Structure 1
Amino acid sequence: MAKRWNWLGGFLLIVLMVLCAGEARSEFPERNITLIVAWEAGGPVDLVTRALAVGAEKHLGKPLVIENKGGGGGTVGLSVIANAAPDGYTLCATPNVSVVDTPIMQKMTFRPLGSFSPILGHSLAEHTALLVKSDAPWKSFREFIEYAKKNPGKIKYSSAGIGSGMHVAMEVIARKEGVKWVHVPYKGAAPATTALLGGHVDACSAGIGWQVHGKSGAVRALADHGKKRGPDFPEVPTLWELGYGFSNETIHAIVGPAGLPPDVMKKLEEAFRKGMETPEFKTAQEKLYLTPAYYDSKAYGKHLKERWPSMEKILIDAGVVKEAATKPE
């Protein structure tokens, strides 16, 4: 009889432990969540992410502690996430180009389509652009290209980093036109634009937000990277209409490590969706010239998988790479 009661007691203890574990898991999050912004502080990715976090942390009931880890076109921050525990307490804010484009161009230690859990895509940065200072001698895109052809290696341009959409745009142009210029990569869009304003480079393949400087008269846009002309500068032609077959489709997003539990994923996705509804977030999008967009976890994951072969073909056809530098999965 004693053995029977001991067995029953042990069984009940196991059941109780399982129930308690389930209850504890349902209480996510129990502590602060680290949200790594894979770009420099003060840039578009940082600013829109901080605005998104305002509403998200209210829904979660715990603070989102933001850490900036810029560099490598967003891949430094992604490398941290790829090695993080899949418990939902370490996340990363970085655009789709960091997950797909940069790893196609440079070898990465993580698996672009296998190391991450897509959580949500929230903003589209369409109208990045090629800029020069307003007092530069080039009044049009064609004048700029003709000068670059006649003066190989003389033009220095800045971008938000190797493998960024802005860098890819310049590589596509260079390969088609047969020009040689010097790429000066920075850790984000803000310092890349500052380099142009300070006269440290001749041109900037600028990230979103350059429109502020365009409206102030400090810079001149020679070409828009969007598929259609931007509403703020409709006189600026797009690379697409100029015949380069390229448009920038940068989606700002949140990802976590691969293997996030479904209930954690669901709660995070819902929290960031709620964050998109706040006045703070909508104001940030407007000020940064970002186009509202919404991709849930499934849609964003589908987008990344479809983008890989598409960008791989574009970069190979343009002669930028012979093959992808990183295996996707």
Structure 2
Amino acid sequence: MSKDQAAVATVDQTRRQLLLAGVGTAGAAAFPAWAAEYPERPITFICPWPAGGTADQTMRALCVAAAKVLGQSIVVENRVGASGMLGAKAMASAKADGYTIGQIPISVTRFSQLGTIAPDPLKDFTYLARTSGQVFGIAVQANAPWKTLNEFVAHAKANPGAVTYAHAGVGGATHVGMEEFALAASAQFRHIPFKGGAEALQALIGGHVDALADSSSWAPHVESGKLRLLATWGETRVPRFKDAPTLKDAGYNVVVDAPNGIGAPKGLDPAITKKLRDAFRIAVASPEFKSACDKIDAPVLYLDGPDYEKYVMTMMQREKLLIERLKLKELIKS
């Protein structure tokens, strides 16, 4: 080897060492050489809800958009059960290498304080993005005797515990939201839990329950005239169903939107975390995701990972008060 070749080899070796040490260029500092190759294979995305449900639809659209940014496919795996906690626990327990990520149900802030088996929001997740909210509502069959929410409430008051409603799982947003509404209305309903919104919807359509408390799985059936929407649970009316009042419109100070979020196991490398945060930030703004949200009237409620984590911590305090107010520990045991 000539002196010139030896000099070039020495310079190249020095550059490689600087890059690996993370003290070369700004880009190298942000993305160590080994992390710069991520992802090298498909990523598994755990959705804790049944395939075909509203949350599943938006998460799949989001994963398609994020996959384009990352240059690898994102495979959605549905892990259903325990009101979303089985999937959340599976994701939190996975290896923190960036190849298993998933949806974090905001109800984890409730279950973690109820003494049930659930991940710990303070210890078990790396937060990547809050994505969108959900439109919840109370629907009944079109031939039901109640044409308005007030008629529905009046009947429940006159017949305590006789009116049944289906929901997507004990302790989940639809169950707790309905019980919060019942408390505000001084009414008593009998809840019938299912494994997800799709099953709960079929229970109403089949005439097995009197009402359904769910995210907008009811929407196409309301539009077709099969179901009647008595109220929605957001801050404002849903444009597509502007004749349906919010619970607040009807005089009940209850708002439930249960935003979806994306996370990974705790301990994820910061360089990989940044890649995923960037990918999902772009994915949330994509036409694919916006279209999926529009189909179910879901508002986009994006927050970057650090702000999303702060939001979750705030929700922990809110849920603590809600658990006490609704006596949820006793309700879940009953």
TM-score (norm 2): 0.85
Q: Find the aligned partners of 1:47 and 1:323 in 2 and give their Cα distance.
A: 31
Q: Could you tell me which residue of structure 2 aligns to residue 4 of structure 1?
A: none
1:261 deviates by 1.2
CA RMSD of aligned residues (A): 2.6
- Higher mean C-alpha displacement, 166-175 vs 21-30: 21-30
1:163 deviates by 2.3
| Identical-residue share of aligned pairs (%) | 36
Residues 130 and 224 in structure 1, CA contact (< 8 A), matched pair in contact too: yes
Q: Find the aligned partners of 1:93 and 1:211 in 2 and give their Cα distance.
A: 23
- The alignment status of 1:168 with 2:169, answered yes or no, reads no
From 251, 254, 262, give the equivalent of 1:246: 254
The 5-angstrom pairing of residues 97-176 of structure 1 reads 98-105=107-114, 107-125=116-134, 127-176=135-184
The 5-angstrom pairing of residues 174-189 of structure 1 reads 174-189=182-197
Q: Could you tell me which residue of structure 1 aligns to residue 221 of structure 2?
A: 213
Residues 51 and 281 in structure 1, CA contact (< 8 A), matched pair in contact too: yes
Q: Find the aligned partners of 1:133 and 1:86 in 2 and give their Cα distance.
A: 46
| Post-superposition CA distance 1:175-233 (Å, at most 9, x none) | 34454432222222222222211112110002124222211111111121112222222
Residues 149 and 178 in structure 1, CA contact (< 8 A), matched pair in contact too: yes
- The alignment status of 1:44 with 2:54, answered yes or no, reads yes
| Post-superposition CA distance 1:74-103 (Å, at most 9, x none) | 11101112211111111112432x322343
SS at match of 1:240: coil
Residues 172 and 315 in structure 1, CA contact (< 8 A), matched pair in contact too: no
Residue identity opposite 2:133 in structure 1 = L
Residues 128 and 304 in structure 2, CA contact (< 8 A), matched pair in contact too: yes
Judged with a 3 Å threshold, the aligned counterparts in structure 2 of structure 1 residues 324 and 114 are, in CA distance, closer, same or farther, namely: farther
Q: Could you tell me which residue of structure 1 aligns to residue 292 of structure 2?
A: 284
Judged with a 3 Å threshold, the aligned counterparts in structure 2 of structure 1 residues 82 and 158 are, in CA distance, closer, same or farther, namely: same
Q: Find the aligned partners of 2:190 and 2:286 in 1 and give their Cα distance.
A: 42
TM-score (norm 1): 0.86
| Post-superposition CA distance 1:18-57 (Å, at most 9, x none) | 9399422321112221100110000111111111111211
Q: Could you tell me which residue of structure 1 aligns to residue 309 of structure 2?
A: 301
Q: Find the aligned partners of 1:182 and 1:105 in 2 and give their Cα distance.
A: 21
The 5-angstrom pairing of residues 256-295 of structure 1 reads 256-295=264-303
Q: Find the aligned partners of 2:292 and 2:118 in 1 and give their Cα distance.
A: 33
- Higher mean C-alpha displacement, 148-157 vs 291-300: 148-157
Q: Could you tell me which residue of structure 2 aligns to residue 5 of structure 1?
A: none
- The alignment status of 1:69 with 2:79, answered yes or no, reads yes
Q: Find the aligned partners of 1:238 and 1:282 in 2 and give their Cα distance.
A: 23
- The alignment status of 1:84 with 2:94, answered yes or no, reads yes
Residues 48 and 103 in structure 2, CA contact (< 8 A), matched pair in contact too: yes
- Higher mean C-alpha displacement, 271-280 vs 116-125: 271-280
Residue identity opposite 2:103 in structure 1 = A
Residues 168 and 174 in structure 2, CA contact (< 8 A), matched pair in contact too: yes
- Higher mean C-alpha displacement, 298-307 vs 111-120: 111-120
| Post-superposition CA distance 1:251-305 (Å, at most 9, x none) | 1221111121111110011111222233222211111211122110011111100
Residues 284 and 290 in structure 2, CA contact (< 8 A), matched pair in contact too: yes
Q: Looking at both structures, which has the greater relative contact order when contacts are Cα pairs under 8 Å and sequence separation is at least 6?
A: 1
Q: Find the aligned partners of 1:323 and 1:114 in 2 and give their Cα distance.
A: 27
Residue identity opposite 2:205 in structure 1 = L
- The alignment status of 1:34 with 2:35, answered yes or no, reads no
Residues 175 and 320 in structure 1, CA contact (< 8 A), matched pair in contact too: no
Residues 238 and 297 in structure 2, CA contact (< 8 A), matched pair in contact too: no
Q: Could you tell me which residue of structure 2 aligns to residue 55 of structure 1?
A: 65
1:141 deviates by 1.4
* Structure 2 unaligned blocks of 5 or more: 1-12, 23-31
Q: Could you tell me which residue of structure 2 aligns to residue 232 of structure 1?
A: 240
* Structure 1 unaligned blocks of 5 or more: 1-11
- Higher mean C-alpha displacement, 306-315 vs 30-39: 306-315
Judged with a 3 Å threshold, the aligned counterparts in structure 2 of structure 1 residues 246 and 106 are, in CA distance, closer, same or farther, namely: farther
